[in-house]
């Protein structure tokens, strides 16, 4: 049900008065409530086992300063009843992530984590990094804290088990072993240098190691090494020795490897001066698969229990929880959270707050990391704030900019042209706000940097005016930095005039004399160019911003160019997806050979139906 106040009333009450009015209409059902301000913006989303009892608490004074401010701003409320308390908890966390209310604890960085996948759709399984939905057939191991942890582990696993990491199409097209075989990172299954049965045994060993049975694998490899040595097969013995060393290296790099904790996330929370850091250690198969820190948005009077509960609900909204969550701080609704996570995982999930033993030592380690990470972040934030004040002073801004957008283009003689936008603010680079623009202006002269920049900014402001016309969502920049001199600045200014946004400060950063680092000149409309002192920290800061924009634009351009290099005419045929494209290329060897094939040959390809074969044949033979 949804309940809101009578919009026809002339004097709309707010604060305690409006909440007391809503209390009279509620019953004791579980559900979710939303508090909205006078402009219908959501201030807070909460859950309740008993809506009437929970909302009644807000109708009486005696709250913290944060809650008092929220109540004073409340002009209306919305309610949605649920069948169970668990449903209310799940709905609450979904709404918080979707609506990002001002007064809720909010997890801001919530990306997926990488896994290791042993693919099982081939007679010689491939081992590789995987991120995203687990749709591919195979065995998944993870999560790992970051791509670096996965790459390090994969690197050592290749040394230890000699499993391939090449794609199926590359595997099928090999006629001789690749470099990985030469440096003893692969057993060469592509050219028959290992039997399918022996390769399968290596795959099983790798899976056993990733499942936590590493000691058994190492013992067996040690026995094989001794046997090879006694049989005077010294080359084989040396190879086995290197494999054992690689496995030991994996365990050494993992650091903490608890004996009594097979599968858990260890979560430590540290709070200071209205800021919080949550440190998560991923323990899988009795091995530490890395840790990651998070900085949820909190207020000065939020309790650790509230932060921890909000973090758990939002963090596991799109992730599978492990069998145990080992926490530094207890949460209020532990039974409810445990029930919700158990239901999500389809097996029992325990929430523990240990007081002693190995689990408590793990929590202490997570807390120590959280405390040190938050101290570093607060120090960096203070430095960043000082630099932003310096930027405001250098460019005559009224206040330090909260959002700086930096633009750059990248192309080779006009081909595969892209524009890049990076964003920086009080907390450093805001990488989730970065944007790329594929330059698609058909009337542009190849290499026309002015025209490219105009297209990028035109598209940017058009989108901003559509998504946030009132500039209330924090999406608009407080300062634009453009890579270029007077010409680029003039081109961008035309676009800003067209969109009526000349009030946004804009500065062009030119290389200056001899294009030397440190001699940058700054260009603004209607003013003479100027430079900063070579040792000015603000100059170094702006150089870092420009270099980051350049790096992002070049990376985007290279990715686009690489994709174009790998493109074939097969991409244009309706019904030919990635799998069928691979089948055709594997069968015929090249797109050119596919174009020359007759209909009968096309029908003979595995996975290509008669109808699709006709489509492919017609595509190449009915061009006229």
Question: What confidence tens digit (pLDDT) does each residue in 493-522 have?
Answer: 999 999 999 899 999 998 766 555 667 889
Q: Is the pLDDT of residue 374 over 70?
A: yes
The mean pLDDT value of the chain amounts to 84
Please tell me which residue, 360 or 286, carries the higher pLDDT value.
Answer: 360
Q: Cβ distance 504 to 476 under 8 Å?
A: yes
Give the DSSP letter string of 327-394. Answer: ESS--TTHHHHHHHHHHHHTS--EEE---SHHHHHHHHHHHHHHHHHHHHHHHHHHHHHHHHHHHHHH
Give the DSSP letter string of 247-266. Answer: HHHHHHHH----SS-SEEEE
Q: Which of 303, 320, 314 is nearest to 92 (CA)?
A: 314
Return the pLDDT at 9.
Answer: 46
Lowest mean pLDDT among 102-116, 344-358, 443-457, 576-590: 443-457
- Gyration radius of the chain's alpha carbons: 30
- At 563, the pLDDT band (50, 70, 90 cuts) reads low
What domains sit in the chain, N to C, each tagged with a CATH number? Answer: 16-99 (3.40.1440.10), 115-254 (no CATH), 263-375 (3.30.420), 404-563 (3.30.420.340), 569-621 (1.10.150.20)
Rounded mean pLDDT, 175-181: 88
47-106 pLDDT per residue, tens: 999 999 999 999 888 888 889 999 999 999 999 999 998 899 989 988 998 899 999 999
Distance between CA atoms of 387 and 37, rounded to whole angstroms?
35
Q: Is the pLDDT of residue 268 over 90?
A: yes
Contacts of 527 (CB under 8 A, 6+ apart): none
Distance between CA atoms of 101 and 45, rounded to whole angstroms?
7
Rounded mean pLDDT, 115-122: 88
Cα–Cα–Cα angle for 174, 179, 185, rounded to 5 degrees: 105
DSSP three-state, residue 530: strand
Q: Is the pLDDT of residue 174 over 90?
A: no
Distance between CA atoms of 569 and 593, rounded to whole angstroms?
12
pTM over 0.85: no
- At 624, the pLDDT band (50, 70, 90 cuts) reads very low
Give the DSSP letter string of 479-502. Answer: EEEEES-HHHHHHHHHHHHHHT-T
What Å distances lie between residue 86 and 93, 555, 567, CA to CA?
11, 44, 48
Distance between CA atoms of 561 and 582, rounded to whole angstroms?
20
DSSP three-state, residue 284: strand
Both tokens assigned to 61: 């004074």
What Å distances lie between residue 421 and 424, 433, 549, 563, CA to CA?
10, 9, 6, 21
């Amino acid at each position: 049900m949804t309940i809101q106040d009578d919009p026809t009333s002339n004097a709309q009450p707010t604060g305690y008065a409006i909440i007391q009015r809503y209390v009279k209409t509620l019953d004791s059902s579980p559900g979710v409530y939303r508090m909205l301000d006078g402009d219908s913006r959501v201030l807070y989303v909460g859950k309740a086992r008993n809506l009437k009892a929970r909302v009644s608490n807000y109708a009486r004074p005696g709250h913290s300063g944060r809650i008092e401010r929220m109540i004073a701003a409340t002009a209306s409320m919305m309610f949605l009843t649920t069948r169970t308390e668990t449903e209310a908890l799940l709905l609450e966390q979904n709404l918080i992530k979707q609506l990002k209310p001002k007064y809720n604890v909010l997890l801001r960085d919530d990306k997926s984590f990488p896994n290791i996948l042993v693919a099982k759709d081939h007679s010689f399984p491939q081992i590789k990094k995987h991120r995203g939905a687990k749709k591919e057939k195979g065995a998944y191991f993870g999560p790992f804290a970051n791509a670096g942890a996965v790459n390090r582990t994969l690197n050592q696993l290749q040394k230890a088990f000699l499993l391939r990491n090449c794609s199926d199409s590359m595997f099928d097209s090999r006629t001789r072993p690749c470099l990985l075989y030469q440096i003893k990172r692969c057993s060469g299954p592509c050219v028959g240098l290992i039997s399918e049965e022996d390769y399968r045994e290596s795959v099983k060993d790798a899976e056993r190691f990733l499942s936590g049975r590493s000691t058994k694998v190492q013992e067996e490899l040690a026995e094989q090494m001794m046997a090879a040595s006694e049989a005077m097969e010294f080359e084989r013995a040396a190879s086995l020795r290197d494999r054992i060393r690689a496995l030991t290296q994996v365990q050494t790099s993992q650091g903490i490897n608890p004996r009594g904790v097979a599968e858990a996330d260890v979560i430590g929370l540290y709070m200071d001066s209205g800021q919080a850091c949550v440190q998560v250690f991923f323990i899988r198969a009795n091995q530490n698969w890395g840790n990651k820190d998070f900085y949820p948005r909190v207020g000065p009077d939020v309790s650790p229990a509230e932060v921890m509960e909000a973090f758990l609900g939002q963090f596991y909204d799109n992730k599978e929880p492990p069998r145990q969550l080992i926490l530094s701080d207890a949460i209020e609704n532990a039974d409810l959270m445990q029930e919700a996570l158990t239901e999500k995982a389809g097996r029992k999930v325990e929430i523990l707050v240990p007081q002693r033993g190995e689990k408590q030592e793990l929590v202490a380690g997570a807390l120590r990391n959280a405390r040190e990470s938050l101290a570093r972040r607060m120090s960096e934030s203070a430095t960043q704030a000082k630099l932003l004040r310096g930027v405001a002073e250098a460019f005559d801004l009224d206040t330090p900019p909260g959002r700086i957008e930096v633009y750059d283009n990248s192309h080779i003689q006009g081909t595969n042209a892209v524009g890049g936008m990076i964003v920086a603010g009080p907390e450093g680079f805001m990488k989730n706000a970065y944007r790329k623009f594929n330059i698609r202006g058909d009337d542009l002269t190849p290499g026309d940097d002015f025209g490219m920049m105009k297209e990028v900014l035109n598209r940017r402001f058009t989108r901003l005016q559509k998504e946030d016309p009132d500039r209330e969502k924090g999406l608009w920049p407080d300062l634009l930095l453009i890579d270029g001199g007077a010409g680029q600045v003039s081109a961008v200014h035309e676009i800003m005039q067209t969109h009526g946004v000349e009030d946004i400060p804009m500065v062009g950063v030119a290389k200056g004399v001899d294009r030397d680092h440190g001699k940058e000149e700054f260009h603004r409309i209607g003013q003479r160019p100027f430079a900063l002192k070579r040792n000015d920290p603000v100059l170094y800061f702006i150089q870092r911003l420009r270099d980051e924009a350049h790096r992002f634009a070049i990376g985007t351009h290279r990715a686009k160019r690489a994709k174009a290099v790998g493109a074939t005419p097969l991409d244009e045929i309706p019904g030919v997806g990635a799998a069928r494209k691979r089948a055709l290329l594997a069968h015929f060897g090249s797109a050119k050979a596919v174009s020359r094939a007759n209909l009968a040959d096309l029908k003979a390809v595995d996975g290509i139906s008669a109808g699709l074969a006709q489509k492919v044949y017609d595509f190449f033979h009915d061009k006229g």
